[in-house]
Structure 1
Amino acid sequence: MRRSGGSVLAARLIFTIGYGEATPDRVIATLRAAEVTTLVDVRAIANSRKPGFSKTALSAALEAAGIGYLHLRPLGTPAAGRVAARSGRPAEMRRIFTAHLAGTEPQAALAGLAERATRERVCLLCLEADPAACHRTLVAEAVAAGVPGVVVTHLHPS
């Protein structure tokens, strides 16, 4: 919490989570513990080889847990960025994604996400377990840079 002009202001949080080393149950338990109201899927392609993490299965499990689901495809990494990430070239992935994020559609999605983050507890989801190696951190940081008082918190399913 921060003090401003004699009043106490609670920091607004935007969470991120990677499911690479987790099960759907662990992810949902972690989201519930953080009191997340909406999971924002920032994968360009909301499919997964991991059971329970395809868009349909994940959104149904979240709904059953009382957590909303929103897929923001424009905030996903373009194909070239995904190739760079899989090839162990994180700097190239960041460069590609940063250029992508400057586009009209990603900027509109980012503005909507920033507005949502001011009124509810949202968490950005992607596959990568390490937030430092994932584009979701860049998305969260962009939101935090544009909305005073927003703090990025990385969740780790346990």
Structure 2
Amino acid sequence: MVELAGRPVTHLELTKWAFLLAHETPSHGGASFYDFLPYKYGPFSFALFHEADDLVRNGYLRDTKADGREAWARAAEVDARVGNMPGGLRADAARVVERFVSRTSEQLIDYVYDAFPWYTSNSSIRKLSKRPLAKCAVYTVGYEQWSVDQLLNTLMRRGIVRVIDVRRNPVARRYGFHKSTLTRLTSRIALEYVHFPELGIPSELRQDLQSDDDYASLFDEYTTSLLPRRQDAVAEVSHLVSDKPSVLLCMEADPAMCHRTRLAAVVSSQTGLPVQDIRGAECELTLS
């Protein structure tokens, strides 16, 4: 889209154009395009900025200024890449750029805000929507096959205000899910983050898991052997989920294949709260 614009593109412009490409075109930006969440100036993608920074470091883009704002421009020595885009995506991107390239930042923001009010819910300019607040329950979620933006947007839409990370080793190859990065990103959107590594399953116990029976045996051992030795941590989690809507976070999308479900059952028995996996059930919401 920077190439199509034929000029430096501000961070705000590129973010909003990419959002409109994802939400207002037939291609939706392609099968693995960016996800977006509400941020200071409407829809935003942490992953987009991360990848743009990589392109700057690798010499494909360069940092510059446009209209007094931070911007990106194509590096002079890099050949145009637009021709390598699939035809439908290229046409959609061109239409978005042609439609909005002459609009001011204020006009672009006004259009996006009016058309997509949810994404104003964290805005520092004006809010046309409020973040909901879920009723307390033992919520769980796995981020497998999701981007960090999709995860965080889903949690906000579902009214979650605290993430309880129950991974033993909070590292991930995919951007956004390493503990240090996730801590930083959640803090930017007013989500609390806490980590209980002692409630994860040690790596050595996860070796040679081949069948459903292997997983069942592992989770039985987790429930009957490990959790009884972690009563203080379980009690703290029980307090946290009763205090405000919180979610137990791990990697696996299928809750049946993750230890968080066994932990959730124990926490439910202590609190009397129902268990709900966020990818499988709607949360009961009120407006905060």
Q: Which category describes the TM-score, using the shorter chain as reference length?
A: 0.7 to 0.9
Q: How many residues align?
A: 144
TM-score, normalising length from structure 2?
0.48
Contact 2:135 2:245 in 1 (8 A): no
> Counterpart of 2:210?
87
Deviation at 1:11, TM superposition (A): 6.3
Separation of aligned partners in 1, 2:221 and 2:202: 8
Q: Deviations over 1:24-62 (max 9, x none)?
A: 001001110111111000001111122210001111111
> Counterpart of 2:85?
none
Among 180, 192, 198, which residue is 1:74 paired with?
198
Deviation at 1:102, TM superposition (A): 1.2
Say which SS state the counterpart of residue 102 (structure 1) adopts. helix
Separation of aligned partners in 2, 1:56 and 1:11: 28
Deviation at 1:80, TM superposition (A): 3.4
**What is the RMSD computed on CA atoms of the aligned residues?**
1.8
Contact 1:81 1:97 in 2 (8 A): no
Query: Does 1:56 pair with 2:158?
Result: no
Q: 1:83 to 1:13 in 2, by over 3 A?
A: same
* Letter of the structure 2 residue corresponding to residue 16 of structure 1: T
Aligned positions of 1:77-156 closer than 5 A: 77-83=201-207, 86-88=209-211, 89-98=214-223, 99-103=225-229, 106-148=230-272, 150-156=273-279
* Letter of the structure 1 residue corresponding to residue 232 of structure 2: A
Deviation at 1:79, TM superposition (A): 2.1
Q: 1:48 to 1:144 in 2, by over 3 A?
A: same
Runs of 4+ more than 3 Å apart: none
In structure 2, stretches of 5+ residues that fail to align are 1-133, 281-288
Percent identity between the two aligned chains:
29
Contact 1:36 1:122 in 2 (8 A): yes
Say which SS state the counterpart of residue 15 (structure 1) adopts. strand
Among 10, 17, 22, which residue is 2:146 paired with?
22
Contact 1:18 1:125 in 2 (8 A): yes
Greater relative CO (CA pairs within 8 A, separation 6+): 1
Q: Deviations over 1:68-104 (max 9, x none)?
A: 00000111112233225x534211221231211111x
Separation of aligned partners in 2, 1:119 and 1:32: 17
Say which SS state the counterpart of residue 123 (structure 1) adopts. strand
Separation of aligned partners in 1, 2:135 and 2:188: 28
Separation of aligned partners in 2, 1:25 and 1:11: 23
Separation of aligned partners in 1, 2:206 and 2:160: 27
TM-score, normalising length from structure 1?
0.84
Q: 1:61 to 1:46 in 2, by over 3 A?
A: same
